[in-house]
Amino acid sequence: MLSGDGYREALTDYGLTTGDFGDDVDAMDEILQTGITQNYNMSISGGGEAGTYRAGFSYFDQDGIIKNSNLKRYTANLSGSYKFLNSKRIGLEWNLITSFTKEQAPPISTNAGFEGSLIGQALQWNPTHKLYEADGSPVIIPAFGNTSINPLAMLDAYHDNSSTVDLLGSISPYVKITDALTYKFAYSLTHGVGDRRAYLNSWINIAGITGNGVAGINTDKSTNQILTHSLSYLADITNGINLNAVAGYEYQKLTESGFGVNTSGFPLEAFDYTNILQSGKNTTNNSIQPYHNPDAYLQSFFVRANFNIQDKYLLTGTFRADGSSKFGSDNQYGYFPAVGAAWNIHNEDFLSDGMFNTLKLRLGWGKTGNSEFPSGASQERYSVGYNGTNHTAALDNVANPGLKWETTTNLNAGIDFAILDYKVSGTLEYFNKSTEDLLFQNPTIQPAPASTYWINLPGKVINTGVELSLNTTLVDNESLTWDFGGNVTFLKNELQDYTGANIEYGEVFGQGSSGATIQKLVNGKPLNSFYTRHFLGIGDDGQGMYEGGAAETQDFRGDANPDMLLGLSTGLSAGKLGFVMNFNGAFGGLVYNNTKMSVIPISNLGTRNIDASLVGNAKQEASSNPIKSSDRFLEKGDYLKLANATVSYNLGKLGNNVKNVKIYLTGQNLLVFTKYSGFDPEVNTVNVRNGLPSTGIEYIPYPSARSVVAGANFSF
């Protein structure tokens, strides 16, 4: 972004005589605030031999770093356990958590077009134009264009409050039938009810809203019930051979429903419009949108056995049969076996010299299933409606009764070691995950009632990698301990044996790029591969030049997946003083800077703000150079972040009653080392196009906050 003076300089460079309004403002700075977070926890516990209980209460209050964003959560939980009979062979555990959350959200959306959302409005605001009128109220219609929105006016006009009540209850009785055999039952119920009320005042300068205002109320309700029966057996079978086996059954039911109503055209400003929805005059924008999703049922049968032979050889086998109502009637069940073996070499006689504290070889193979996709895809769904004159009905989807479980086959091999009295330990692991029958939205075979439908992907997604971790204790004496650890993972991703359609996805947003996509799914390439133009630079005429000339050839330009992940941590404790620091990083992935491309392009010059890197270059970019997606906006997303750092001091006992007093100072997201020019290389603005979600595109996101927390723990 340019400052007011920088903007004036740019106007002069371009010979523009309009666009300077004399001021020097920073709109982005004006919408940000220092957010204060408060968090209080209190718990009491007690009990005796027959039973225990614990009760806790907490209050959390967080201001976001954008003005008008706030979250408050009140939580109460109660849990306990009881044992019956003198033999204590029957017991019961129970848990109850309730929470109430209130959230105020600013007007930030991830798929804003021409008007943009708050962040875009702030980035675009002409830095030479005042934000406030003389009376201190925000300017509503700026002189540089009546379609530009003052983010401060937007903050005043937009009201978005939601509240959520969540309830979780669980009870799990058990019976120790014999010393080795235990039966356990568990039931849990999660129920959430959310309510969102939002409105936009009629005085804001947005076409369609001005003079009308708009308001809506949405409620959402979900209930999830899980019931489990299990029988476990734990015993020494013969000398040195130990068996731990479990067999069980699990049942789950998920229901989701809700309601939304929106209207516009309100008579009076004095009200919160959501309190007077009945007075909305514009039938044109009324909508009533109830939903009640198909219920989803899941039931599973499972067995698991672990053998431990003299602490040298460990064998594990599991088998699950999972059934889901989401799949076609012939394919509701998926069968998922897994086996694993480990060899504790350090327990062998030939390594009894004690050089290795741990030396363990591990090998595992297993299949897991996934059924995470919307219910109702395997059968035909007819919806009914009203078109203004008649009732209507239509088939909405292409049913796929052959849908089956997505299955990932995981092969991993690793070695764990620890030496020097555990002062140096580490792991080296190789993994290969092959996902088949990926649940996927494919183009329909027209003529058809929809453009995409759910299928199992004809192909497989292969993820392979090597992970290396090393932890060391550098200093360990009475006055000081110092630990250092690190892990690094090398990753590779590829779509193989894919015989389906090549699908373009990864929509870019903003003015001048309607319908543009920059990602493509094809066989032999990684997922999240970018497919776009190659930018050659700015030509003598100030226009962008692209590979292929006027044809502007699109091709593959790398992918969003990191090749390497890095984690570093260190901890230091000296007496009562403690210090912990964690870094994480990712390298080798690309990020598409959609914000830079669409929100602050050179064509804004003369009216709105532009990206600072667009001026002062050897070749001047013409202000008429079109907004066009290309690898010009594809940047390296490499970063290393100081994710958190904590200093703590243990005061111990204060007086006679207050114990375990500890004070601490924690910072989160304190430092980012990156060359990425946007908000945050870790931020991803997901959008779904042609049924595929995008990864690696940044578009005017909620900026990530740097936070510092001071706290104290104590007990009585």
Partner 1 sequence: MKINKLFFLVILAGFFACTDLKENLNDDLNFGQADEVLDAGILLSGAYSGMNGVYHGGGGMWGMNEHSSDEAIAPTRGGDWDDNGAWRALCLQTWSPEHVEVNNAFNGLLGQIFATTQVLTFGPTPQQEAEAKALRALHVYNVADLFGQVPFREPGEDLLLAPRVMTAEEAIDLVISDAESAIPNLPDGPAILANKDMAKVLLMKAYLNKGVYADRAAPKFDNGDMQKVITLANEIINSGKYSLATNYFDNFAPNNNAISTENIFTVENVAGSRSNIRNHWFCTLHYNQNPSGWNGFTTLSDFYDSFEQDDARRQADYPGMTDVSGVKAGFGIGQQYDQNGTALLDRKGNPLIFTPEVSLIETGNNLEVTGIRVIKYPIDYNHGDNADNDLVIFRYADVLLMKAEALLRTGDDAGALAIVNEVRAGRNATDLASLGLNEMLAERGREMYWEGWRRQDLIRFGKFLDAWQEKPATGAERLLFPIPSTALAVNPNLVQNTGY
Q: Cα 353 to the chain's mean position, in Å?
A: 48
Whether 298 contacts 371, CB under 8 Å? yes
376 contacts partner 1 (rule: CB under 8 A): yes
* Three-state SS at 12: helix
The smaller minimum CB distance to partner 1, of residues 362 and 381, is found at 381
Q: Are strands 517-521 and 460-476 parallel, antiparallel or unpaired?
A: unpaired
623 contacts partner 1 (rule: CB under 8 A): yes
Whether 599 contacts 627, CB under 8 Å? no
- Torsion-angle region of 655 (φ positive above 0: left; ψ -120 to 50: alpha; else: beta): left
**Contact region with partner 1 (CB under 8 A), list: 65-73, 97-105, 477-485, 625-633:** 625-633
Q: How far is the CB of 511 from partner 1 (least distance, A)?
A: 6
- Which of the residues 659 through 698 are near partner 1 (CB under 8 A)? 690
- Which of 415, 566, 579 has its CA nearest to residue 483? 579
- Which of 641, 586, 645, 596 has its CA nearest to residue 621? 596
Tell which one of 52, 218, 222, 282 touches partner 1 (CB under 8 A). Answer: 282
> Pattern 150-189, binding to partner 1, x per CB under 8 A?
-----------------------x-x-------x-x-x--
Q: How far is the CB of 390 from partner 1 (least distance, A)?
A: 4
The smaller minimum CB distance to partner 1, of residues 77 and 286, is found at 286
- Which of the residues 401 through 430 are near partner 1 (CB under 8 A)? 402
Tell which one of 118, 277, 399, 683 touches partner 1 (CB under 8 A). Answer: 399
Say which residue the tokens 């010009």 belong to.
Answer: 632
> Pattern 516-535, binding to partner 1, x per CB under 8 A?
xx------------------
3-state DSSP of 634-686:
EEECCEEEEEEEEEEEEEEEECCCEEEEEEEEEEEEEEEEECCCCCCCCCCCC
472 contacts partner 1 (rule: CB under 8 A): no
> Pattern 185-224, binding to partner 1, x per CB under 8 A?
x-x-------------------xx----------------
Q: Cα 158 to the chain's mean position, in Å?
A: 25
**Contact region with partner 1 (CB under 8 A), list: 319-327, 353-361, 432-440, 467-475:** 319-327
The smaller minimum CB distance to partner 1, of residues 238 and 390, is found at 390
Contacts of 488 (CB under 8 A, 6+ apart): 467, 468, 469, 564, 565, 566, 567
The smaller minimum CB distance to partner 1, of residues 548 and 575, is found at 548
Whether 631 contacts 534, CB under 8 Å? yes
Phi then psi for residue 123, to 5 deg, are -65, -35
447 contacts partner 1 (rule: CB under 8 A): yes
The smaller minimum CB distance to partner 1, of residues 35 and 449, is found at 449
The DSSP code sequence of 172-219 is: EEEEESSSSEEEEEEEEEEEEEEEEEEEE-TTS--TTTTTT-EEEEEE
The smaller minimum CB distance to partner 1, of residues 137 and 392, is found at 392
Whether 401 contacts 455, CB under 8 Å? no
- Which of the residues 230 through 259 are near partner 1 (CB under 8 A)? 249, 251, 253, 257
Tell which one of 380, 421, 476, 555 touches partner 1 (CB under 8 A). Answer: 380
> Half-sphere exposure (CA, 13 Å, Cβ side) for 229?
4
The smaller minimum CB distance to partner 1, of residues 187 and 373, is found at 187
**Contact region with partner 1 (CB under 8 A), list: 85-93, 116-124, 238-246, 347-355:** 85-93
The smaller minimum CB distance to partner 1, of residues 109 and 444, is found at 444
Give the C-alpha distances (Å, rounded to integers) separating 177 from 174, 180, 184, 407: 9, 8, 10, 37
- Which of the residues 493 through 512 are near partner 1 (CB under 8 A)? 500-504, 511-512
288 contacts partner 1 (rule: CB under 8 A): no
The DSSP code sequence of 687-700 is: -EETTEE--SEE-S
Burial classification of residue 272, based on how many CB atoms lie within 10 Å of its CB (0-12 exposed, 13-18 middle, 19 or more buried): exposed
The smaller minimum CB distance to partner 1, of residues 448 and 708, is found at 448
626 contacts partner 1 (rule: CB under 8 A): yes
* Three-state SS at 492: strand
3-state DSSP of 548-592:
CHHHCCEEEEEECCCCEEEEEEEEEEECCEEEEEEEEEEECCEEE
The smaller minimum CB distance to partner 1, of residues 312 and 381, is found at 381
The smaller minimum CB distance to partner 1, of residues 12 and 543, is found at 543
> Pattern 580-609, binding to partner 1, x per CB under 8 A?
---------------------xxxx-xx--
- Say how far apart CA 103 and CA 124 lie, in whole Å: 27
Q: How many helices (H) and strands (E) does the chain have?
A: 5, 37
Tell which one of 68, 121, 263, 325 touches partner 1 (CB under 8 A). Answer: 325
Tell which one of 450, 568, 663, 705 touches partner 1 (CB under 8 A). Answer: 450
**Contact region with partner 1 (CB under 8 A), list: 35-43, 278-286, 462-470, 583-591:** 278-286
Contacts of 596 (CB under 8 A, 6+ apart): 611, 633, 677, 678
20 contacts partner 1 (rule: CB under 8 A): no
446 contacts partner 1 (rule: CB under 8 A): yes
- Which of the residues 108 through 147 are near partner 1 (CB under 8 A)? 114, 144-147
Contacts of 646 (CB under 8 A, 6+ apart): 578, 579, 580, 581, 664, 665, 666, 667
- Which of the residues 32 through 61 are near partner 1 (CB under 8 A)? 50
713 contacts partner 1 (rule: CB under 8 A): no
Q: How many residues of this chain bind partner 1 (CB under 8 A)?
A: 110
> Pattern 540-579, binding to partner 1, x per CB under 8 A?
-x-x-------xx---------------------------
Token pair for 139? 């300017």
